[in-house]
Amino acid sequence: MKVHVLFLLIHYFNGVQAGLEDQIIELDQLTFTGCANYILDTVPYTTQFMDWAVFCRDMNALSSLVGCFESIGRNELYMYGYLFEECASENLVLDESNITNAANHLLIDGVPAEFIRKDTPSENVKRPVIVNGTVAMLFVLGQQQYDKMYSDSTWYGIGALGYWLSVCLVGAIANWSVIIFPSLRFKLNGTIAKSWRKYITLPALAKKSQSRLKTIGLIGMLLPSRIETIVSVLFFVLLVVFSAAGINPYKNNPNFALNEFTLTKYVGDRAAHLCIFLVPLLLLFGGRNNFLIWLTRWKFSTFVAYHRWIGRWVVLLAIVHGCSYSSLFNMTNTYGSRVATSFIQWGITGIVAGSLVLFQGLLFLRRRWYEFFLITHIVLVFVFVFSAYQHTEDLGFSGVLYASFAIWGFDRFVRLARLVVFGFPMAEISLQDDKIRVTIPKPAHWTAVPGGHAWIHFGDKAWFWQSHPFCCIADETNLTFYCKVQKGITAKFQKKLQSHPEKSFKIRVGVEGPYGKSNPIKHHSDVVFIAGGNGFPGIFSELEQLLKALDSKQRLQFNWIVKDVDSFNMMAEHINRLSIARIEFNVYITQKSSPGPKSLDSPCEEDAFAEKKSISQGSIPQEEFPSVNFYFGRPDLMETVQSNIEDCSTGVAFVCCGPTAMIDDLRYFVVSNIDKTNKRVDFYDTLEIWA
Ligand SMILES: Cc1cc2nc3c(=O)[nH]c(=O)nc-3n(C[C@H](O)[C@H](O)[C@H](O)COP(=O)(O)OP(=O)(O)OC[C@H]3O[C@@H](n4cnc5c(N)ncnc54)[C@H](O)[C@@H]3O)c2cc1C
Ligand SMILES: *[C@@H]1O[C@H](CO)[C@@H](O)[C@H](O)[C@H]1NC(C)=O
Ligand SMILES: *[C@@H]1O[C@H](CO)[C@@H](O)[C@H](O)[C@H]1NC(C)=O
Ligand SMILES: *[C@@H]1O[C@H](CO)[C@@H](O)[C@H](O)[C@H]1NC(C)=O
């Protein structure tokens, strides 16, 4: 990890330094560009726009230029360095004698600039002109202003990165301080801290909408949480400000003919700078092995949410850049010749690829064809970054793009390394109701993260390249995953198993992990777990971890809302392992009979609110689990939250995993009760959704 960061920083530093060096324009270039602009703006020596080579071939133009240098006191040989270089690159070599000759020519033939009418055909301009020194100086200063704007753009690019760095640092401090100083959380529980958490960091964007799909016409989207929204909106405002800051070409710039041109160029250049500096960050945020996940302790899904928003702005900035340069080429009638260059073609390719990502990444497509989305996403993003690299190679940005590829390559490398470290063991696949159970022997050197997850590759000819994330339950020898049957590989396994006599088979698997982290719940006086249906494996390991270290001080409650008794029995072996007599273990069975293959995604909608009553029917394994409280019907979650807040001694943490609707409800109930007590109330969910 450290090497990774170092590597990145070095690349980044190189890129930034090259960017800055490129923009510190020397005085000779500045003087030449200012005078050349002035002369060509006043006297039509050439019909082509910005045809600076005219000073290398036309004696009259060169004489006027020498006069301009003289008029502002810069007629020294080293001031011609830039001109000599430019001419040499056009194979029109100039030297000191040309300058001396030109100065003499001006003395003999020079006329004030006003003597030559602006509409004179260029081939008829046969004399050098004497320019006004005051105006010439203004042109040079105008040029200086433009160059400053250009080099400032690099700083605005760095500033945009600085924003994210600061946000991540604030997150890191907030989340690590409760790990390192557990008591801090209980001290920081005043009105302000509570309001901050109630209104800013904990809630969904609006009421209960966090993890539910919102649809506006054809465009469905996952709503970010409130804090994610605030961070993203602030970033957008910052980008708008950075896109416009310091862009005022009119000030002091006498080069009025160029003003429209300059303004357009400023806007286009600034957009390009901001865009390119965000690319490495964009790739970093999209990767599973992003060191910022470790630093900030945010969920991967939070980074994916930011990844999506940054991506939108990056493409938008690229489009702004493309549009402004298109209009520049139009203004100068050079569209055709510019588009013929590979430089511009790479730029266009990048913008097209980037724009396609905006559409192919729509939630609609991610949901329906996840793997298709993933492959096209990778290909298009590669085309985008590679085109950006080709397009900016000569402009001093290659370091930034090397960093982008380094970040990407590093993520892929770590993913491969994790697979190799786990080895490729044979897993046992079996069918349990609507779930595929995957049992994988665990290598001794590999430790699972309670509350974390791992990505599984199944060694199937058609599917091995796909990896799917699942929460796991680990014991000393095995990892057990419970995968709900969906439309992809899980459906294929289900079909295979249904016809299988033993209802189980073996297959080679790759496991990439562990990812995720445990929640900081060791120091709460009370911890309440709430699992809905398939959410059981998501929090069971955390319960197990707490139980192992349980002292008499901590009170644990585990609530599991489950479809039927069979679903409970499937997990019996895991529950058996624990000394659950020491805790309050509640099981809510929501379906009384006929356990049909109904979706577990929404157990809360399966039946109307049933009264909570303790029962002991024959089908319930009450004797086997004497300490488990079985109930029929679903619990009143608001009541569960309120009574636990009331009953806890100093603070309670709610840890939840389950259907999205249940998590959203729970979050809402916790948020609405957080300021009704003096005790500390925390909420953690193990839900991560990005597709
Ligand atoms: C952190 C995490 C932990 C999870 N833990 C569990 C678990 O313990 N038990 C369980 O049953 N399910 C879990 N899931 C969901 C599980 O990963 C998907 O249901 C699974 O990938 C579907 O595979 P499929 O080929 O059968 O489905 P498909 O029919 O191909 O896909 C169904 C839907 O699943 C989603 N999906 C598919 N592949 C991925 C992917 N690689 N990454 C993200 N989403 C994807 C897409 O939204 C897709 O539309 C978890 C998901 C995440 C993100
Ligand atoms: C510069 O000098 C060379 C050699 O004397 C001459 O051929 C060339 O025309 C001069 N160029 C200009 C622009 O005067
Ligand atoms: C040069 O231009 C300035 C500003 O336009 C003007 O005030 C000044 O009189 C001019 N000088 C000459 C010598 O024409
Ligand atoms: C681990 O899995 C193997 C194969 O499924 C099984 O034989 C063994 O009993 C399991 N071990 C534990 C501790 O559950």
Burial readout 508-524 (b: 16 or more C-beta within 10 A, e: otherwise): ebbbbbbbbbbbbbebb
Tens-digit pLDDT profile for residues 626-682: 999 999 888 999 999 999 999 999 999 999 998 888 998 999 999 999 988 899 999
Amino acid at 365: L
* Ligand nearest to the Cα of 132, by number: 3
Query: At 685, which helix (H) or strand (E)?
Result: strand 680-685
Question: Would the pLDDT of 398 be above 60?
Answer: yes
Question: What distance in Å separates the CA atoms of residue 636 and residue 646, rounded to the nearest whole number?
Answer: 15
Domain boundary among 76, 99, 131: 131
Q: What average pLDDT is seen over the chain?
A: 86
Residues 351, 290, single domain; the answer is yes
Q: Which of 138-142, 219-223, 374-378 has the lowest mean pLDDT?
A: 219-223
Tell which atom from ligand 1 comes closest to the C-alpha of 369.
49
**608: confidence class by pLDDT, cuts 50, 70, 90:** very low
Burial readout 69-103 (b: 16 or more C-beta within 10 A, e: otherwise): bbbbebbeeebbebbbebbeeeeeebeeebbeebb
Q: Residue 585: left (phi > 0), alpha (psi -120 to 50), or beta?
A: beta
Residues 497, 591, single domain; the answer is no
How many Å lie between the centroid of ligand 4 and the Cα of residue 609? 39
Count of helices and strands (H, E) across the chain: 24, 17
Burial degree of 459 (CB within 10 A; 0-12, 13-18, 19+): middle
Q: What is the pLDDT of residue 602?
A: 35
Question: What distance in Å separates the CA atoms of residue 517 and residue 299, rounded to the nearest whole number?
Answer: 9
Q: Does residue 185 sit within a domain?
A: yes
Residues 301, 328, single domain; the answer is yes
DSSP alpha helix (H) spans, 332-369: 335-339, 342-360, 363-368
First to last CA, the chain: 28
Residue from 131, 135, 138, 255 to probe ligand 3 pocket by mutation (most atoms less than 8 Å from CB) = 135
Residue from 38, 72, 134 to probe ligand 3 pocket by mutation (most atoms less than 8 Å from CB) = 134
Question: What distance in Å separates the CA atoms of residue 647 and residue 633, rounded to the nearest whole number?
Answer: 23
Residues 178, 306, single domain; the answer is yes
Query: What would you report as the CA-atom Rg of the chain, rounded to the nearest whole angstrom?
Result: 34
Tell which atom from ligand 1 comes closest to the C-alpha of 301.
53
Residues 381, 407, single domain; the answer is yes
Token representation of residue 237:
């405002």
DSSP alpha helix (H) spans, 287-341: 291-296, 300-331, 335-339
- Average pLDDT (535-551) is 90
Burial readout 549-575 (b: 16 or more C-beta within 10 A, e: otherwise): eeeeebbbbbbbbbbbbebbebbeebb
Q: What is the pLDDT of residue 666?
A: 93
CATH number at residue 573: 3.40.50.80
- Average pLDDT (496-525) is 91
**613: confidence class by pLDDT, cuts 50, 70, 90:** very low
Whole-number Cα distances in Å, 4 to 269, 290, 299, 413: 31, 10, 20, 11
| Exposure on the CB side of residue 485, measured as CA atoms within 13 A | 19
The SS3 assignment for 508 reads strand
The SS3 assignment for 680 reads strand
Tens-digit pLDDT profile for residues 245-301: 877 766 556 655 556 777 888 899 999 999 999 999 999 999 999 999 999 999 999
How many Å lie between the centroid of ligand 2 and the Cα of residue 91? 12
Q: What is the pLDDT of residue 216?
A: 65
Range of the domain at 39: 27-131
Q: Which residues contact 635 (CB under 8 A, 6 or more apart)?
A: 559, 561, 586, 588, 612
How many Å lie between the centroid of ligand 2 and the Cα of residue 71? 23
Q: What is the pLDDT of residue 256?
A: 53
Tens-digit pLDDT profile for residues 419-436: 999 999 999 999 988 889
Domain boundary among 494, 515, 536: 515
Q: Does residue 328 sit within a domain?
A: yes
Q: Does residue 184 sit within a domain?
A: yes
Tens-digit pLDDT profile for residues 143-188: 887 788 888 899 999 999 999 999 999 999 999 998 898 888 888 8
* Ligand nearest to the Cα of 87, by number: 2
How many Å lie between the centroid of ligand 3 and the Cα of residue 104? 24
Tell which atom from ligand 2 comes closest to the C-alpha of 101.
14
Q: What percent of the chain has pLDDT over 90?
A: 55
426-432 and 435-441 strand pairing = antiparallel
- Average pLDDT (86-94) is 92
Tens-digit pLDDT profile for residues 327-346: 988 887 778 878 888 889 99
DSSP alpha helix (H) spans, 423-534: 489-499
Asked whether the bond before 249 is cis by omega within 30 degrees of 0, the reply is no
Domain boundary among 463, 492, 515: 515
* Minimum CA distance residue for ligand 2 atom 12: 59
* Minimum CA distance residue for ligand 3 atom 6: 134
Residues 208, 234, single domain; the answer is yes
Determine the angle formed by the axes of helices 27-42 and 81-89, rounding to 10 degrees.
70
Tell which atom from ligand 1 comes closest to the C-alpha of 368.
49
Q: Does residue 99 sit within a domain?
A: yes
Q: What is the pLDDT of residue 605?
A: 35
How many Å lie between the centroid of ligand 4 and the Cα of residue 487? 28
Residues 473, 532, single domain; the answer is no
Q: What is the pLDDT of residue 519?
A: 92
Residues 293, 345, single domain; the answer is yes
> What are the E-state strand segments in 539-617?
555-562, 584-589, 613-614
Question: What distance in Å separates the CA atoms of residue 158 and residue 156, rounded to the nearest whole number?
Answer: 5
- Sign of the Cα torsion 314, 316, 319, 320 reads negative
Question: Would the pLDDT of 691 be above 80?
Answer: no
Tell which atom from ligand 3 comes closest to the C-alpha of 135.
2
How many Å lie between the centroid of ligand 2 and the Cα of residue 61? 12
Token representation of residue 566:
């069979």
Q: Does residue 233 sit within a domain?
A: yes
Q: What is the pLDDT of residue 419?
A: 96
Q: What is the pLDDT of residue 171?
A: 95
**Number of independent structural domains in the chain:** 4
CATH number at residue 468: 2.40.30
- Average pLDDT (494-523) is 91
* Minimum CA distance residue for ligand 3 atom 12: 132
Q: Is the CB of 673 under 6 A from ligand 3?
A: no
Residue from 440, 478, 505, 509 to probe ligand 4 pocket by mutation (most atoms less than 8 Å from CB) = 478
* Ligand nearest to the Cα of 71, by number: 3
Say how far residue 667 (Cα) sits from the centre of its chain: 25
Q: What is the pLDDT of residue 596?
A: 38
Given a contact cutoff of 8 angstroms between Cβ atoms, the answer to whether 354 and 318 are in contact is: yes
Tell which atom from ligand 1 comes closest to the C-alpha of 538.
8
Within 10 A of 216 (CB to CB), how many other CB atoms are there?
7
How many Å lie between the centroid of ligand 2 and the Cα of residue 98? 6
How many Å lie between the centroid of ligand 1 and the Cα of residue 469? 6
Residue from 60, 98, 101, 104 to probe ligand 2 pocket by mutation (most atoms less than 8 Å from CB) = 98
Q: Is the CB of 60 under 6 A from ligand 4?
A: no
How many Å lie between the centroid of ligand 2 and the Cα of residue 99? 9
Which residues line the pocket of ligand 1, CB cutoff 6 A? Answer: 367, 370, 453, 467-471, 482-484, 486-491, 534, 537-538, 688, 691
Q: Does residue 690 sit within a domain?
A: no
Question: Would the pLDDT of 27 be above 90?
Answer: no
How many Å lie between the centroid of ligand 3 and the Cα of residue 55? 25
Q: What is the pLDDT of residue 202?
A: 85
- Average pLDDT (1-6) is 44
Q: What is the pLDDT of residue 143?
A: 82
Question: What distance in Å separates the CA atoms of residue 347 and residue 394, rounded to the nearest whole number?
Answer: 13
Tell which atom from ligand 1 comes closest to the C-alpha of 487.
29
Q: Does residue 491 sit within a domain?
A: yes
- CA-nearest of 278, 266, 265 to 239 is 278
How many Å lie between the centroid of ligand 3 and the Cα of residue 135? 7
**612: confidence class by pLDDT, cuts 50, 70, 90:** very low
Tell which atom from ligand 3 comes closest to the C-alpha of 133.
1
Q: Is the CB of 133 under 6 A from ligand 3?
A: no
Identify which has the larger pLDDT, 502 or 5.
502
Residues 341, 374, single domain; the answer is yes
* Minimum CA distance residue for ligand 1 atom 6: 470
Residues 477, 369, single domain; the answer is no
Given a contact cutoff of 8 angstroms between Cβ atoms, the answer to whether 686 and 297 are in contact is: no
* Minimum CA distance residue for ligand 1 atom 44: 691
* Ligand nearest to the Cα of 425, by number: 4
Q: Is the CB of 132 under 6 A from ligand 3?
A: yes
Identify which has the larger pLDDT, 412 or 24.
412
Which residues line the pocket of ligand 2, CB cutoff 6 A? Answer: 57, 59, 62, 94, 97-98
Question: Would the pLDDT of 499 be above 90?
Answer: no
How many Å lie between the centroid of ligand 3 and the Cα of residue 132? 6
How many Å lie between the centroid of ligand 4 and the Cα of residue 55? 84
Q: Is the CB of 135 under 6 A from ligand 3?
A: yes
* Minimum CA distance residue for ligand 3 atom 14: 132
Residues 226, 313, single domain; the answer is yes
Q: Does residue 357 sit within a domain?
A: yes
Q: What is the pLDDT of residue 3?
A: 44
Residues 386, 460, single domain; the answer is no
The SS3 assignment for 624 reads coil
Tell which atom from ligand 4 comes closest to the C-alpha of 475.
13
Q: Which residues contact 527 (CB under 8 A, 6 or more apart)?
A: 521, 546, 554, 555, 556, 557, 652, 653, 655
